[in-house]
Amino acid sequence: MEILVVTGMSGAGKSTALDALEDIGFYCVDNVPVPLLPQLVALAAERDPGRRIAVGIDAREPSYLRDVDDVHQRLADEGHSVEVLFLEAPTDVLVRRYSETRRKHPMGHLPQAIDEERTLLHGLRTRTTSTIDTATLKARELRQMIRDRYGTRGVLHLVLMSFGFKAGLPTFADLVFDVRFLVNPYYIPELRPMSGLDAAVSDYVLGQPEATQLLDHLEGLLRFLVPGTVREGRSYLTAAIGCTGGQHRSVALTERLAARLSEGEPLSRPAPQLIVRHRDIILGHSTP
């Protein structure tokens, strides 16, 4: 069986992630006592052996977390594939979310409860396969990320993302490239209200000789890395391209890099699923 353990900090989006996994066909169970996980897997293997399982585990019952290592080893010995997804967010973000929703933290009073929860989840954290920091993610963005990452089996999802450094680094990125050395269209009055999706901005950015050289390097690097990433068995690789505001240079380069990678020989076999995202683009300033 393929088993995905969804865990992490309360308020970081575990319920949202489980809902998205259920939408793409996972059998989802929340707040599973760790000692009962082998029985749940055995039942699912008997009744529906081809279906993937997602289980939510948290720190509300600390005594159960002591069994994590033994249960994980038992499932591995039985031949099951176990992946652990940890959802994270900074303490101040979690406190704000609880304040906005007026919900009570399951571990008690804030912010002490968050510190206690981090300590209790340390064992699971050491077994983490993937981590998503949801600090800057809206619920719909987290759902889309879950669908992208786990919706297709056996295929690498290669995500090319533009972003703006002034809004912070995308903490879930595997590779980050800084393109702020290119001349910024922001300082051209007629280009400022546009984005890298507009032809005028794209032509301005890509017309710089350094942009072409950079694209050559990025394309070569990804064509080198992707086959090895597939051989490693990973399902997700995110390359983030950043400029100052995430509006012009990074968007134009991300779009062109995606077009290049879609041309010619496939990056790997099976070919990865290429996904393009623009984290900080100002919608309404771009031409569809």
pLDDT tens, position by position, 3-13: 999 999 999 99
pLDDT tens, position by position, 203-222: 999 999 999 999 999 999 99
Q: Is 169 found in the same domain as 143?
A: no
Q: 152-166 burial by CB neighbour count: b if 16+ within 10 A, else e?
A: eeeebbbbbbbbbbe
Q: Is 200 found in the same domain as 75?
A: no
Q: Is 214 found in the same domain as 102?
A: no
pLDDT tens, position by position, 24-76: 889 999 988 899 999 999 998 888 888 899 999 988 878 888 888 899 899 98
Q: To the nearest 5 percent, what fractions of the chain are helix, strand and coil?
A: 45, 20, 40
List the one residue out of 239, 248, 240 whose CA is nearest residue 281: 248
Q: Is 127 found in the same domain as 65?
A: yes
Q: Is 239 found in the same domain as 166?
A: yes
Q: Is 143 found in the same domain as 63?
A: yes
Contact 147/24 with Cβ under 8 angstroms? yes
Domain count, the chain: 2
Look up the domain containing 221 and give its range: 157-278
* Cα dihedral sign, 283-284-287-288: positive
Is the pLDDT at 285 greater than 70? The verdict is no
Q: Is 138 found in the same domain as 19?
A: yes
pLDDT of residue 284: 39
Considering the chain, what percentage of its residues have pLDDT values greater than 70? 97
Q: Is 102 found in the same domain as 190?
A: no
Domain boundary among 122, 150, 178: 150
CATH number, domain with residue 90: 3.40.50.300
Name residue, tokens 């280009």.
Answer: 191
Give CA–CA dist 147/282, Å, rounded: 24
pLDDT tens, position by position, 124-159: 888 888 899 999 888 988 998 898 888 876 688 899
Domain boundary among 150, 185, 218: 150
pLDDT of residue 177: 98
Q: Is 217 found in the same domain as 171?
A: yes
List the one residue out of 109, 234, 105 whose CA is nearest residue 159: 234
Provide the mean pLDDT of the chain.
89
Q: Is 285 part of a structural domain of the chain?
A: no
pLDDT of residue 241: 98
Q: Is 135 found in the same domain as 110?
A: yes
Q: Which residues pair with 175 in a beta bridge?
A: 239
Q: What is the pTM of this model?
A: 0.71
Is the pLDDT at 91 greater than 70? The verdict is yes
pLDDT of residue 149: 84
- Give the orientation angle of helix 209-232 with respect to helix 199-206, to 10 degrees: 90
For the CA atoms of the chain, what is the radius of gyration?
A: 21
- Tell which wins on pLDDT, 184 or 234: 184
- Tell which wins on pLDDT, 149 or 250: 250
Q: Is 115 found in the same domain as 165?
A: no
Q: Is 120 found in the same domain as 37?
A: yes
173-190: average pLDDT: 96
